């Protein structure tokens, strides 16, 4: 692979470009090793079972603040500061390959959260964040990107659902549309432990109620392709994360490549 004149149009395959542009998401299979999954579930159970003020700093949980219902699927924020296993996930080369391509070579990490769902957890109804999606010379581009890594098997009928193509919408969906409607309008995306669904937040998406005897654990690492987030990086705790994770939390400026991006691109060229 080569990247002439700084263009990253060859990172995604033609099939990946078509699939993402058509659907609004892409699935990467088995990108996380089993031993890392086991460690993340161990920490997820530990952190979800302790009070908010007992979480190791700077971890927090915005789902436990404010007026959220007790049946919401709770999440823990800033997990990349809590253990190297989450830092390895942020730097996962296969996931970053797609993130770099979809952010035009300028990703800014704005959130890392670990969510835990139970049978009693609420449905997550359809929602989307703006319509910041386009197709440019380099291929599909998502201004707000979400990487959802499943730590458990998610069978058909539960978990992630979306309205494929709604990231390019010209009309809003009808009010009576349900996450339990079927194809072709609504599709359900079953995944296995270690799989990653990367989707643009412009896509209407949601989550069906969890049905299995074990909890559903999902990690959401979110990126933007321009600007920064007010909560990251956490300067007082920068010593807890590698330089490359800290760099990914720095503002994204189109035309300016971060060193970690250059490293990933260089490794891709040798494949």
* Tens digit of each residue's pLDDT (9 = 90 or more) over 128-146: 998 999 999 889 999 999 9
Q: Cα–Cα distance between 268 and 208 in angstroms, integer?
A: 36
- Convert the pLDDT of each residue in 51-77 to its tens digit: 999 999 999 998 887 777 788 889 999
- Tell me the three state secondary structure of residue 91: coil
8 Å CB contact between 205 and 168: no
Q: Which CATH number fits the domain that encloses residue 49?
A: 2.60.120.620
201 Cβ contact list (under 8 Å, min separation 6): 128, 129, 130, 132, 142, 144, 145, 146, 222
Number of domains in the chain: 1
Residue 54 dihedral angles phi and psi, to the nearest 5°: -100, -5
Host domain of residue 233: 4-269
Residue 33, CB half-sphere, CA atoms under 13 Å: how many?
Answer: 8
pLDDT for res 231: 87
Our measurement of the distance from residue 254's CA atom to the centroid of its chain's CA atoms, rounded to an integer in Å, reads: 21
Q: What does the angle CA 190 – CA 38 – CA 153 come to, to the nearest 5 degrees?
A: 15
pLDDT for res 271: 65
Q: Cα–Cα distance between 184 and 171 in angstroms, integer?
A: 17
- Tell me the three state secondary structure of residue 14: helix
Per-residue tokens: 83: 């253990």
Return mean pLDDT, the chain.
93
Q: Span 113-120, mean pLDDT?
A: 94
Per-residue tokens: 65: 């603040």
Question: Considering only CA atoms, which of 28, 22, 35 is closest in space to residue 95?
Answer: 28
- Convert the pLDDT of each residue in 210-236 to its tens digit: 999 999 999 999 999 998 888 899 999
pLDDT at 94 over 90: yes
pLDDT for res 268: 84
pLDDT for res 70: 80
203 Cβ contact list (under 8 Å, min separation 6): 24, 25, 128, 162, 163, 164, 166, 167
Question: Considering only CA atoms, which of 27, 28, 25, 26 is closest in space to residue 168?
Answer: 25
């Amino acid at each position: 692979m080569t990247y002439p004149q700084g263009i990253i149009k060859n990172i995604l395959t033609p099939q990946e470009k078509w699939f993402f542009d058509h659907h609004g998401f892409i699935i990467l299979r088995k990108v996380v090793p089993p031993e890392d999954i086991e460690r993340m579930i161990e920490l997820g159970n530990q952190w979800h079972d302790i009070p908010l003020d007992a979480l190791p700093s700077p971890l927090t949980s915005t789902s436990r603040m404010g007026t959220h219902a007790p049946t919401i699927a709770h999440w823990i924020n800033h997990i990349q500061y809590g253990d190297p296993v989450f830092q390895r996930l942020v730097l996962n080369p296969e996931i970053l390959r797609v993130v770099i391509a979809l952010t035009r070579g300028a990703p800014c990490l704005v959130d890392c959260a670990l969510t835990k769902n139970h049978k009693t957890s609420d449905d997550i109804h359809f929602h989307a964040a703006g319509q910041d999606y386009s197709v440019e010379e380099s291929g599909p581009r998502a201004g707000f990107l979400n990487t959802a890594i499943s730590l458990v098997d998610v069978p058909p009928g539960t978990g992630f659902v979306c309205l494929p193509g709604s990231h390019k919408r010209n009309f809003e969906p009808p009010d009576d549309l349900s996450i339990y409607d079927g194809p072709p309008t609504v599709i359900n995306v079953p995944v296995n432990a270690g799989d990653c669904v990367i989707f643009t937040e412009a896509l209407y998406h949601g989550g069906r109620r969890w049905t299995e005897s074990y909890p559903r654990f999902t990690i959401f690492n979110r990126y933007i392709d321009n600007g920064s987030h007010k909560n990251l990086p956490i300067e007082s705790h920068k010593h807890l994360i590698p330089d490359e994770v800290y760099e990914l939390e720095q503002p994204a400026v189109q035309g300016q490549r971060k060193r970690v991006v250059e490293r990933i691109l260089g490794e891709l060229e040798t494949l």
